[in-house]
Structure formats: structure tokens, C-alpha cells
Structure 1
Amino acid sequence: MEIIAPVHPGWPLVGNTLAVARDPLGMFMKLQRQYDRVVRINIGGRNQYMVFRPEDVKYVLQENHRNYGRSPAFRVLKRFLGEGLLTSDGDFWRHQRRLAQPAFHRQKITVLASTMVEESAAWVAQLRQGDLSGPVNMSQALMDVTMRIVCKTLFSTDAGQRLDGLSHSLETLNVLANKTLLSPIKWPTNWPTPNNVRYNNARRQVDALIYGFIANRKRTGTRHDDLLDMLLYAEDEDTGQRMPDAQLRDECVTLFTAGHETTAVSMAWTMYLLASHPAILKRLQTEVATVLGTGASESLPPVEAFRTLPYTMQVVQESMRLYPPAWAMSRMALADDHIGPFRIPKGDTVVVSPYLLHHDPTNWPDPDRFDPDRFAPGADAGRPAYAYLPFGGGPRLCIGNQFALMEMQILLALLVQSFDIQLIDGKPIRPQPLITLRPNRHIWLRLTARL
């Protein structure tokens, strides 16, 4: 029997837009407590169906994924990401995914992981040699090291002034895109509003740098063990065609953004959680010391050593449960459908929130508690697969998920091998749901070098 989804009351004209803009996480969690399965809200004049159960999320993202394309919200991201893997759709996305997939094969990740170890170890050594008498801005420090890593793994170049400019420009685009996403008024992009002027200037700077990298690599013909090389020489198995420059640009910008900001934010949350839970930090340091030794070391650990740190990975996984960087995602119904008994009309949007799934006490007892043993072997017995979605799910599972997990595991292991960490104060840090789930202020920690 078909049932009309319950509608959450809102204001005339604006619906639930103001409540969501004011406190997205609070509003979504209120809806999760109030409605069992599906609820319809109105944001920006569009009907949005929030789903809360893992089996319904699995239906949208996997079982009937062909009926759920990118929602209108992705148009905002497309303005600077273009037709990259995150924002493209349909047959074009499937073609791009096939082209890019070999770059993220396990063997390729192992090659790139060696670079991650080198850059992470050099960064940790610089931290040890610096002034540790005062607090360290871990949010900024982790932005710096993930910048180093993405520059080397994507472009085989060091992070310099030009690439700092790229990082700043992408940050500007990210902030302005978030403003546009939440604004009830969408000004045409060619109108010279202050935000549009800043946006277009940042976009031009990004394009100039990325196209410059592509042109230089094509001109010299030199080969590198990096992601740009893998994308540049990826060929369609049927036609033998390679990506045009515009597509290379879009994929590079997408990878740079995901590999830099998203990883840094996830690592900052992880360090905050460890500093808040000394017993878990001690257990983590014991595992790392058993495999990698303690304190500074002149020789770099082999990549394989990091794969033998199960508790380290559990810490990363639990941190991403509590603070998933992609805290919400949306899909537009391409045809009329049903989620369970509830009708989903063509053209309306379905909203999935990993943050809500990860904090649902049905599948995560005491969901706000930091407990890496939730990911110990066998602990997931009986837990629905789609109760945990830090990288999305279905065919659109993030292509770089193993890359990101490897990077975080390496960074985390080398950090806790070298330092004890403490909070500076007891003031809570709260999640700020922008395009990614950021801390509402920088995370400052006290680092003490371990002998």
C-alpha cells in the first residue's frame, strides 16, 4: 500500500530552510528522533525526503542507484569541480570511473604510500625540531602535511608558493560554494556580486595552475609515479582515447580537494579525540611502538609495516564514525519510486546523512562515545553494512577511500610514535557542518617529543 511520507511543518514560503541553515545537525537529529523512517522537509523551495534506516540508504545508493542521480545541490560543487568523479553522473560518470579506477589499484596505492611515508616522516621531523614549548595548531599543521602529500602524490612536486596559492584558492571556492548552497537566493554566476567576483578570481587561479601542470607534463613527456601520470595515460579500453585536458583538470581539482582538506579535517578530529582519551592514546602508542619502535628513527618504516597496525586503523575508523567528513549527501529521483511504502516523486530529492547513521543508537550503543573497539574483528556481526558510510556507498563509493585510509594510518602512526599529545583546555570543540564536517575552531594541542 502506498503511503504519503509525513511532512515536517515549516514556515510559509521558506519551509524548513531557516531551521536547517541555522543548525543542520541539530535539525536532522531532531527529525531522526521524531520520525521512524522517512520524512519530507522543504529546503530552498524543493521537497527533500530524509531517510534514516540503513536498509533504505542501501536501496537508494546501491540497489536502485540508477534511479537516483546527482541532486541540484551538486550544481554548486560543479562550478569549481567541473565534471569530476564527485559531481558527474550517468554514462559519463561510468566512463570516467572505468578510466580512473586503475590509478587506485592496491599496487598503485602501495607505490603512492611510499611517498606518503617519506613526506609524513619529514614533516614529523620538522615538528620535533621546532619550538614545542607552546601549543601547536594541529588543524593548520595537518593542512600543511596533507598539502605536501597531495602535491607529491598528484603532481610529483613540492608544496611551494604556487601550490599554497592553489590551496588558498580552493579553500575560497569551498567556502563560497557552501554559502551558495545554504542561501535561498542563487544569483547568476555572471552577475558581479562580491562573492561571484571572489569566486571567479579563485577559479581562474586554480585553472591556470592545473592546466599548467598538464601542459608541462605533456610537453616534456616525462613519466612519474603519481596520479597525474596515471590519469594522463589512462586509455578507454574500447576506443583507446585518453582524457581531454578539461577532464584531466576536473579530476585533478577533485582529487586535490579531497586529498588535502578532507584528510586534514579527519586527522584533526582524530588527534582531538586521542588527546581527550589518554587511555586509548596509550594503547595506540603501545601498538605502534611494537611494530615501528619508539621516538625518532633515522630509517623509514616500510609501507608493509603500517598494514600490521590493526588498532591504528580502528582508531581512524572510529574517528570517521563520529565525524564523517561527508556528513550528508543527496540524490534526485529520476523516476517515481517507493522507499518501503513511501512514495518518492520524480524530481524530488532524497537526503542521506552518514552523521545520523553513525550516531543511531540502534546500531551504535552509546553512539557519542569514542570506542575504537567497535571496529575490532568480529565486532560488526549483525550490524547493517550501510550503518557506516564514511566514504559513501554503492557504485559511487569514493574511489580514493583506500588512498585516504592509508594516508591517515601512516600519519597517525608516525605522530603518536614521536609525540605525546594533550589538550590545551577543556572547552568542547563542536562539529561545523559546511560542505565537509569541520571543527568549529582550530584544534590546538600540546606536543611533547617522545624519546
Structure 2
Amino acid sequence: METTDLSTLPVPLHPGLPMLGNTLAFLRNPLGTLHTLQRQHERLVHLRIGGRHQYLVLRPEDVKHVIQENHRNYGRSPAFEILKIFLGNGLLTSDGDFWRRQRRLAQPAFHRQRLAALTTTMIAETANWIVELKQQRSKQPVNMSQAFMDVTMRIVCKTLFGSDTTGKLDGLSAALDDLNYLANKKMLSPLRFPYSWPTPDNVRSKRARTQVDTFIYGVIEQRRQRDEDKDDLLGMLLSAEDEDTGEKMSDQQLRDECVTIFSAGHETTAVSMAWTIYLLSQHPDVLMRLQAESRTVLGDAVTPSPDLFRSLTYTLQVVQESLRLYPPAWIMSRRAHNPDSIGPYTIPAGDTALISPYLLHRDPTNWPNPDRFDPDRFVPGGPKDQLHSYAYLPFGGGPRLCIGNQFALMEMQILLAMLVRSFELKATPNQRIIPKPLITLRPNQSIWIGLS
């Protein structure tokens, strides 16, 4: 009797259009398309997007296989080549031995002991921001999307560079927003002109990149000339040495890592906070519990002690549940160097594995009533702790787990606790906020909230 090698079975193909495959469905409604795929397929599904063969991985255990257990077989997908134009060759976009070296060099800067020293800076900047919000407060709602962009920019500047850069933040923030917008546009466009062509978008992105580079290289040069040993992130990166060679980062590497930290520590945190405040404005019962905890634990101190924030257990649950519903990195891609078997199926060499934290986080198999906002899912020892570890991936997983995940979680807890301690939040009527999946999962419009 003949036997079949199950590991060579083709992955089920999701039907699409002639020539275009599934491209139009993803361009028109990526999140809706993901939900459709989740309902119709069980483990993996073969898609044709942008002329490439891609395989959506649906189960947490298979996601773990791709990004942890067999991670050396998977590298950055072609999409990251576009990001590399804008961000450089930092931890987010680099690969292989270079990435491993950079990760080793940068990792000590994000150790918990180091982050403890940066927490004081986060608290001080948040306190200044709260004072400004109180001064600006009126009967009109506040654009909280922009407010969070402003404060996270200040925090990342102070924690990264230490020195007061307030006078230069407006131009830097606008340039970074331009780079983010243009990278999104280029990734979504089916027609991509070479970066060397003088198209309006290329000219605009080069101008923005020059502005960012001038600022960051200037700070690096100033720090090297002064030979200052500062306890900020740049100081830690400057002093980092390769264990094997004793080599330090070049100015180019420092620049690329700084831009990556800016992008990850500024835009993604601000977007996550905007989603969190929006959810709270729609769930007054959760907001009341959160306010009670923050006011009891933090008291009336303008700048509470960093130790107090460790006691904000419900605040952390709120942050975690918000990141479940709206993970900034809503989809990830990895290209297979060699063929890989997942259960009875094979992902061919050169093709791409797609992983969607957004989809994993809303899988009803693991998350009952997945669209409901319920921070009690994350109570210690509760429902989340019973799930597969890869059912929840707001910061990715495996060796490429976001290096700044603890930094981001602490920043979000500080911002959230100090904000709700100081204000009552009121939802703005008739705001129809829905997710807009760009490079990060943004709201479709600015979120306006009444503060009183």
C-alpha cells in the first residue's frame, strides 16, 4: 500500500481574482479579510498578495514554531526593505549576524535595572504634561491623539538623549511623522518608483530624513566631543562594546538605532495610548476602577515615587487588554530561507509566513467574546495565564521580541495612571472610531476626549 508524505501537502489556497489573487481584498479591507480567513481556515492558508506567495499562520503553536523554534530559517520579508529606506539598518529592519551583533550591543541599555533610572524621567515629563493639559482645559474636547504624540516625543527625547531638546522637537516630530506617512504610503502602493527618482514623495522623504539625520548626528557628535558618560539610552549605546571584538557602534549604527527607538517609542506608544483612552471613554465602569486605584496608590504627589507604579496591577491589566484589542504591530512577515514543515504542510523556500497578532488576539477559540474590552482577562492567574504563550503577542516573540517592551509598558502605565488621576474623561458624541491598519494599527481619525 502506498503512503503519502504528509509534510509535502500544499497549504490550502484561498480563492482570489485572476492575476491579482488576494491583493485587492487586502488593500480594501485587510482586517475584514483576516477575519474571513480565520473563519474559513484552521491552520494555514495560502494567499497571493502583490505577486508573492504568502502563508497566513493561524495557530499560536505554529506561530511559535516560525518566530521562536525555527527562527533561524526565517528572515525579514521584502516589506522591510521599504522600511529600511526610511529607518536605516536598525534592530527593526536588520537581519542575520549583523542583527544578532546589534541586539547584543543594545540589550544592556534595556535591562530592568537601567529602565528603573529612566522611570523618573518619564514621571517628570508626564507631570509637566498634566500641568499643561490643566492650563489648556476648556469646555471643548481635547485632541488626545495629538496630545499623546507630544508627550511621548518628549519622553523619548529625554530618555534617549537626556538633554533638554524642547526647542527642536516641533521640527523633529514633523519630520518623523513625514517619514512614517511616506513609508506607509510606499508600502501600500502597488506602483513603487525607485528612491533615486525625484518624485514629490521621494523629495519630501529625503528632506525629512535629512532633518532627522542632522539632529541625531549632531547630538552624537556633541556627545563624543564632550566624552560625557550619561545614564540615558544614547549614553548606554555609545558605551556598549562587542563581547568578542571590543568593537563599538559606528555613528551610522547609532543613528539607525536612535531612529528606530524614536519610531517605536514615540508613534506606537502614542497610538496605543489613544486607543486606551478611547476604550475607557466607552467603558465608565472600567474607568472608575482605574481612577480608584491610581488615586489610592499614587496619592496627591505631583511626581509620585517610581516604586508606587509597581502596585498599579489593574492599570497594567487595562494596558494589556487595550494592546490585545489594538496591537500596534497588527501583522508581521517572515521569509523562509529553506522549505519548512508545519504539521502536514510545507512553506516553500523564498515564500513568506504571515503572522497577525490582531487576529491571534481576537481568536474566539482562545478569547471568549473577543471584541469585548475586559481587563479582567489579565488578572494574575486568570484566563490569559491559561492560554498558549503565543496567543498574545503585542510585542512579537522569540529572539526578535521587541527590545523596548518593558520600557513601553512602564511608560503607558505612568501616562495612564497620572492622567486618569487628574481628570474625568468624557466621550465625544458621534465619533466613529475604527482601526486603520497602516504600518501600525492607528485609529481612522484623531480621538477627542473631554477633560474635566
Q: Which runs of 5+ in 1 are unaligned?
A: none
Match of 1:178 in 2: 184
Map residues 132-151 of structure 1 onto 2, 5 A cutoff: 132-151=138-157
Aligned-pair CA distance for 1:315: 0.2
Map residues 414-429 of structure 1 onto 2, 5 A cutoff: 414-429=418-433
Match of 2:329 in 1: 326
Q: Which runs of 5+ in 2 are unaligned?
A: 1-5
Match of 1:345 in 2: 348
Root-mean-square deviation over aligned CA pairs: 1.1
- What amino acid is the match of 2:443? P
Q: What is the aligned counterpart of 2:126 among 120, 126, 129?
A: 120
Q: What is the aligned counterpart of 1:336 among 330, 339, 345?
A: 339
Aligned-pair CA distance for 1:180: 1.4
- 2: distance between equivalents of 1:211 and 1:307? 36
Match of 1:104 in 2: 110
Aligned-pair CA distance for 1:159: 4.5
- What amino acid is the match of 1:290? T
Paired residue secondary structure (1:432): strand
Q: What is the aligned counterpart of 2:391 among 387, 393, 398?
A: 387
- 1: distance between equivalents of 2:436 and 2:306? 34
C-alpha contact 1:334 1:346 (8 A) present in aligned 2: yes
Paired residue secondary structure (2:17): coil
- What amino acid is the match of 1:414? M
Determine if the alignment matches structure 1 residue 21 to structure 2 residue 24.
no
- 2: distance between equivalents of 1:353 and 1:72? 17
State the percentage of identical aligned residues: 65
C-alpha contact 1:147 1:159 (8 A) present in aligned 2: no
Determine if the alignment matches structure 1 residue 8 to structure 2 residue 14.
yes
- 2: distance between equivalents of 1:400 and 1:421? 29
Q: More displaced, 363-372 or 193-202?
A: 193-202
Map residues 4-403 of structure 1 onto 2, 5 A cutoff: 4-293=10-299, 297=300, 299-379=302-382, 380-403=384-407
Determine if the alignment matches structure 1 residue 436 to structure 2 residue 434.
no
Change (3 A) 1:235 1:440: same
- 1: distance between equivalents of 2:216 and 2:431? 40
1:283-335 superposed Cα distances (whole Å, 9 cap, x missing partner): 11111122112xxx454211110011100000000000000000000000000
C-alpha contact 1:148 1:158 (8 A) present in aligned 2: no
C-alpha contact 1:116 1:149 (8 A) present in aligned 2: yes
- 1: distance between equivalents of 2:17 and 2:286? 46
C-alpha contact 1:287 1:309 (8 A) present in aligned 2: yes
- 1: distance between equivalents of 2:132 and 2:186? 39
- 2: distance between equivalents of 1:182 and 1:260? 22
TM-score (norm 1): 0.97
- What amino acid is the match of 1:385? S
- 1: distance between equivalents of 2:385 and 2:158? 39
Change (3 A) 1:410 1:94: same
- What amino acid is the match of 1:432? K
Aligned-pair CA distance for 1:13: 2.4
- 2: distance between equivalents of 1:329 and 1:217? 35
Paired residue secondary structure (2:164): coil
- What amino acid is the match of 2:421? Q
- 2: distance between equivalents of 1:415 and 1:429? 21
- 2: distance between equivalents of 1:381 and 1:137? 36
- What amino acid is the match of 1:393? G
Paired residue secondary structure (1:389): coil
C-alpha contact 2:137 2:451 (8 A) present in aligned 1: no
- What amino acid is the match of 1:268? A
Paired residue secondary structure (2:424): strand
Change (3 A) 1:9 1:112: same
Paired residue secondary structure (1:210): helix
Moved over 4 A (4+): none
- 2: distance between equivalents of 1:9 and 1:72? 23
